[in-house]
């Protein structure tokens, strides 16, 4: 599976959060 590695979920969460922040920043401006 894709999320079998320990910390994989955390990595995805971090990327998602970063993407969300960047997306919101771009939309706000």
**3, 12 contact by CB (below 8 A):** yes
Residue with tokens 């997306």: 23
Tell whether the model's pLDDT for residue 1 goes beyond 80.
no
Of 24, 19, 17, 22, the closest CA to residue 9 belongs to 17
Percent of the chain at pLDDT > 90 equals 48
Q: Which residues of 1-29 are buried (b: 16+ CB within 10 A; e: fewer)?
A: eeeeeeeeeeeeeeeeeeeeeeeeeeeee
pTM for this one? 0.56
Q: Which residue has the higher pLDDT, 5 or 10?
A: 10
**Residue 28 scores a pLDDT above 80:** no
């Amino acid at each position: 599976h894709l999320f079998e590695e320990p910390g994989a979920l955390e990595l995805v969460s971090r990327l998602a959060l970063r993407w969300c922040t960047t997306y919101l920043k771009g939309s706000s401006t």
